[in-house]
């Protein structure tokens, strides 16, 4: 008994280590590559630890302000998207949770099914519309597009949170003469803090991941967000300059990873609370 217990404990640790290797080794390799000079980069067997780490790839990357510009654009766009998504999803989720109306389930289903649509097949129509409304090459336009890609799941998740809050609370507040918005903001919202956090983080990560919208709707370099900027400027057509590419990758993920590690407590609890109860 004891032996088999120890064996199973050993096995779990072994499996956990394997998973860890799978998930983290690529990141280590990315980091390592970014410090390698081209003269050692292609060597086999590879250097598992840089014998002569170089910073030249980072120097080159930061020598012009372009990369930081992309970064700033991404941050602005993602924060705005998150804010707009939070507002819109919060309202809509509350509406769907608290009110019964005709076509409600149809509306909910349609909203959710927009999530299934390939962005690809909407691009042309979207581009033409954006052009007509002068939204091309504006951050606002990109924010609107990204918001709608975040909204469906956000509405869905936050609705579940609202569903779990007893209606009695609101009724007693109503009797005390609180307005509808008052009830929403003072009573219901504070209770859905984890839900708001979770959809906020979900939207942020989703918009940070976007590639298609930003590459189509933005073609001014000074407005381009990170992913599009990377694809355009750093992948390169003449050759695969792997150490430079990996340098760009490292630089682009370090801040978001730190941000994530800082917030992860809220994020995980919020995200999971929503889905588990849903």
Give, as ranges, the residues between 173 and 212 that touch another protein (CB under 8 A). Answer: 180-181, 185-187, 189-190, 193, 196, 205, 208-209, 211-212
Within 10 angstroms of residue 216's Cβ, the number of other Cβ atoms is 20
The distance of closest approach from Cβ of residue 246 to another protein in the complex, given in angstroms and rounded to an integer, is: 7
Quote the DSSP letter at residue 127: H
The distance of closest approach from Cβ of residue 238 to another protein in the complex, given in angstroms and rounded to an integer, is: 5
Among 67, 161, 162, 227, binds another protein (CB under 8 A): 227
Among 7, 38, 68, 167, binds another protein (CB under 8 A): 38
Q: Does 49 bind another protein (CB under 8 A)?
A: no
Quote the DSSP letter at residue 223: G
Q: How many residues bind another protein (CB under 8 A)?
A: 134
The distance of closest approach from Cβ of residue 8 to another protein in the complex, given in angstroms and rounded to an integer, is: 8
Q: Does 37 bind another protein (CB under 8 A)?
A: yes
Q: Does 167 bind another protein (CB under 8 A)?
A: no
Q: Does 79 bind another protein (CB under 8 A)?
A: yes
Peptide bond before residue 27 is cis, with ω within 30 degrees of 0 = no
Contacts of 129 (CB under 8 A, 6+ apart): 135
Q: Does 102 bind another protein (CB under 8 A)?
A: no
Among 35, 57, 77, 161, binds another protein (CB under 8 A): 77
CA 244/CA 236 separation, integer angstroms = 10
- Using an 8 Å Cβ cutoff, are 217 and 127 in contact? yes
Quote the DSSP letter at residue 187: I
The distance of closest approach from Cβ of residue 20 to another protein in the complex, given in angstroms and rounded to an integer, is: 7
CA 144/CA 80 separation, integer angstroms = 9
Among 35, 80, 194, 199, binds another protein (CB under 8 A): 80
Q: Does 223 bind another protein (CB under 8 A)?
A: yes
Q: Does 153 bind another protein (CB under 8 A)?
A: yes
Q: Does 128 bind another protein (CB under 8 A)?
A: yes
Q: Does 260 bind another protein (CB under 8 A)?
A: yes
Token digits of residue 114: 């927009």
Contacts of 110 (CB under 8 A, 6+ apart): none
Q: Does 237 bind another protein (CB under 8 A)?
A: yes
Q: Which is nearer to another protein, 50 or 189 (CB)?
A: 189
Q: Does 277 bind another protein (CB under 8 A)?
A: yes
Q: Which is nearer to another protein, 62 or 79 (CB)?
A: 79
Among 76, 170, 173, 266, binds another protein (CB under 8 A): 76
Q: Does 39 bind another protein (CB under 8 A)?
A: yes
At CA 212, angle to CA 209 and CA 214, rounded to 5? 80
Distances (CA, A) of 13 to 16, 18, 223: 5, 9, 47
């Amino acid at each position: 008994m004891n032996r088999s217990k120890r064996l199973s404990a050993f096995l779990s640790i072994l499996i956990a280590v394997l998973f860890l290797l799978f998930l983290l080794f690529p990141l280590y390799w990315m980091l390592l590559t970014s410090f390698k000079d081209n003269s050692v980069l292609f060597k086999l067997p590879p250097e598992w630890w840089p014998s002569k780490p170089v910073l030249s790839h980072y120097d080159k990357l930061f020598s012009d302000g372009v990369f930081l510009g992309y970064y700033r654009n991404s941050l602005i766009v993602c924060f705005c998207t998150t804010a707009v998504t939070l507002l819109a999803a919060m309202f809509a989720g509350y509406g769907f949770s608290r009110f019964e109306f005709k076509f409600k389930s149809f509306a909910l289903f349609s909203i959710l099914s927009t999530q299934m649509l390939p962005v690809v097949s909407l691009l042309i129509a979207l581009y033409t519309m954006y052009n007509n409304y002068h939204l091309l090459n504006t951050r606002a336009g990109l924010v609107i597009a990204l918001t709608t890609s975040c909204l469906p799941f956000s509405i869905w998740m936050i609705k579940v949170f609202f569903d779990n809050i007893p209606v009695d609370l609101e009724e007693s507040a109503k009797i005390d003469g609180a307005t509808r918005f008052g009830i929403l903001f003072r009573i219901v919202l504070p209770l859905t803090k984890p839900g708001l956090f979770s959809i906020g983080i979900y939207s942020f990560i989703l918009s940070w991941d976007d590639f298609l919208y930003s590459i189509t709707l933005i073609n001014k370099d000074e407005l381009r967000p990170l992913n599009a900027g990377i694809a355009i400027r750093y992948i390169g057509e003449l050759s695969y300059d792997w150490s430079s590419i990996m340098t760009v990758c490292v630089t682009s993920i370090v801040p978001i990873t730190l941000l994530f590690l800082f917030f992860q407590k809220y994020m995980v609890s919020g995200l999971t609370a929503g889905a588990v109860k849903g």
